Amino acid sequence: MALSIGIIGLPNVGKSTLFNALTGDGVEVSNYPFCTVAPNVGTVEVPDSRLERLSEVIQPESTTPTSIRFVDIAGLVRGAHQGAGLGNQFLAHVRDADALVHLVRCFDGAQISHVDGEIDPLRDIETIETELLLADLAVMEKAVPYLDKVVRSEPRSVRVQELAVCAKVLEGLQRGTAAAAMGLAPEERDALAPYRLLTAKPVLYAANVGEVEADVPGPWVDRLVERCGADQVLVVSVQLEAEMAVLSREEKAEFVREWGLEHEGIERLVQAGYNLLDLITFYTLANGKLQAWQLPRGEKAPRAAGRIHTDMEKGFIRAELASCDQLLTMGGWAPMKAAGQLRSEGRDYAVADGDVITFLFKA
**Domain boundary assignment for the chain:** 4-47+65-117+201-276, 129-200, 279-361
DSSP 89-121: HHHHHHHT-SEEEEEEE----TTS--TTSS--H
Weakest mean pLDDT among 23-27, 41-45, 220-224: 23-27
Q: What gap in Å lies between CA 101 and CA 202, rounded to an integer?
A: 9
Domain 4-47+65-117+201-276 -> CATH class:
alpha beta
Cβ neighbours around 236 below 10 Å, total: 24
Question: Percent of the chain at pLDDT above 70?
Answer: 84
* pLDDT bracket for residue 214 (50, 70, 90): low
Q: What gap in Å lies between CA 239 and CA 60, rounded to an integer?
A: 38
Q: What gap in Å lies between CA 134 and CA 341, rounded to an integer?
A: 55
Helices 219-228 and 121-153, axial angle in degrees (round to 10)? 20
pLDDT, tens only, 279-300: 999 999 888 899 999 999 999 9
Average pLDDT over residues 81-102: 68
Question: Which residue, 297, 267, 268, is CA-closest to 280?
Answer: 297
Q: What is the largest CA-CA distance in the chain?
A: 69
CATH number of the 129-200 domain: 1.10.150.300
- Judged against a pLDDT cut of 70, whether residue 342 lies above it is answered with yes
Question: Any idea which fold 279-361 has?
Answer: Ubiquitin-like (UB roll) (3.10.20)
In a 3-state reduction of DSSP, which class is residue 59?
coil
Backbone φ and ψ for 233, nearest 5 degrees, come out as -120, 130
Residue scoring higher pLDDT (332 or 247):
332
